[in-house]
Structure 1
Amino acid sequence: MPKPNFFIIGEPKCGTTILHNYLSNHKDIFMSKTKEPHYFNTDHHQEAIQLNGEGKTKNSIFRYINKEDYLSLFEQANKEQKIIGESSTNYAYSKLAAKEIYNFNHNPKLLFCIREPLSFLQSWHSQIYKTGSEFIENFEEALISEKDRKKGKKIGKRTKYSSLLYYSEWIKFTEHLQRYLDYFPKEQIKVVIYEEFKKDNQKTIDEITDFLGVDRMKIDYKQANITPKTKLTKFLKSKNIFRRFFGKILPLSFRKKWGIFVDYIDSKIDKKTNTLSLDAKTKLMKQFKPEVEKINDLLHKHNLIDPEIDLVKYWGYDKV
């Protein structure tokens, strides 16, 4: 049975969905149809069991917790495809995934994506709020609540596992990457800067295909990151029976207006969750600056970033 030899390990909200989709179209690459199987972050499996109960974890939170189910994701890969991969964005955050992947395959190719910490956290908060793991709508209040959450307080009923809500832990990019450098040589790791990918999708894809040792591919430009929808807007815009029925009887002009209205609902939620004053933004950037300096140093130490890019300046942290 085919086994994966390529992993997009995270971080979330850094363009990984588009990367996964682009690479799925390459003739020599097989990417699992299920994005985010989250098989190797076994520490999160255990958290979910403790918080939600074992039965619920098996059935709805982590579907791929045994090897047979996981490997079934890759059984459709053909012999000509050199790269067999999956994308689970919590592998970087997990404290165990690097070791688990190493025990599974010593020689995989790993893609690690990062983004300016403040915009990353805002986007992450917005996603888990919309999908139900976070119940605190205000971003600043959610950050402040982390201390309580580490004590088991202020955890929502729909939270998948508690550490999803530990915001300060999510931006420890240096620690996340170092786990993989402890197990894998730097030649097996490719780092993608989200802002660079967003600026030029094609250039980033060319670099990734070169890294994977496959032919380059021409792509159509797309936005580098997809904003998640609420469960309501997902339903209203999904290809369900409701939409198929009304799609047959309602004129196209009305359906377009409906789509605009649904997107408006989502944009209103984004504005409410992500509003930050200039003072608050500056304060958080000062708080995050030491991490930016550390990840910048680590990437340059291992030649994992363009030598001309200084992330402190690139992300604007030299001004705080």
Structure 2
Amino acid sequence: MEMVFNSSEVPAPDRFDVWREHLAKTICPMETSSEHSGDFHGELRSLQLGPISVVPTKVQPVTGLRTAKSIRQSDPECYTLALLLRGTLGIRHAGHEAVHGAQQMYVVDTSRTWETVAGPVTSVGMGIPKKLLPFPPKSVDRFLARSLSGRDGIGGLLAQFLTRLAGDTTPYRPADTARLGTVALDLLTATLAHHLDADGQVPPESRRRALILRIQAFMHRHLADPDLRPPTIAAAHHISTSYLHRLFQHEETTVAAWIRRQRLERARRELADPTWRTTPIHAIATRCGFAHAADFTRAFRTAYGMPPKDYRMAACPPTG
């Protein structure tokens, strides 16, 4: 699922050239230069999620040119979305010119030339074969290189997904890669549709998955509210309660079961965290949305095979 490259593992004189080779393999060939090429530091990981690739990177100041020559050398015929986590990047591409900062995203077409100038940058790239997107190329051309927000709305969900995936892949198994790729594609499709005002071009299944993800993100934010119930959730998303239940039938669970599972998992993590060692268990239960401590204890024992007190003692024994 994952390949990792860190230039610090390469002799200093060779670091920039080796990093450039890895960049060409994971994204596409480019002509690059850097004033730090004599002792360059760059990190690059490649996560392959079926046909979707996710590439977290961290580099010193560098310029990049995607030229006609490099396109002839290799063209994966992809759109590449880049999410900036830190730093700034300027780009000139497809007749558009922009400067992007943290929590902003932009899209490039690997079949067209571009020029980038980046300071120290931490970012996450996502490569998608063009044929997988349900939009005509002229529609996507409208916002190539332009800023897309990664702070809120559907773009915020996409940015959150990419950030978490880039931060830690250990919870996932190889069998999860196809599922993660599907989620990434659905979120990107919904994000582009939002910016293109082209919801009608989004496949119904992609719209359904994107709505499910928005609802789940909403429920995550409100887990501590003991009144988090289907009517409130449905009203917040302008859908009927019956439609909300139908959506979760596709997830092979119920709304109430999903909320209970997430609350229990949040409580389990806090019970195992030394930071919360002195916090009373009933306070953790309340923080996680359980109004009654006895209900929490019963549910926790059923889910994890022991009461919360015993779980905390085993996972986070007292010191001294």
TM-score interval for Structure 1 and Structure 2 normalised by the shorter chain: under 0.3
Greater helix percent: which structure? 1
Using the size of structure 1 for normalisation, the TM-score is 0.22
Using the size of structure 2 for normalisation, the TM-score is 0.22
Structure of larger gyration radius: 2
RCO higher in 1 or 2 (8 Å CA, sep ≥ 6)? 1
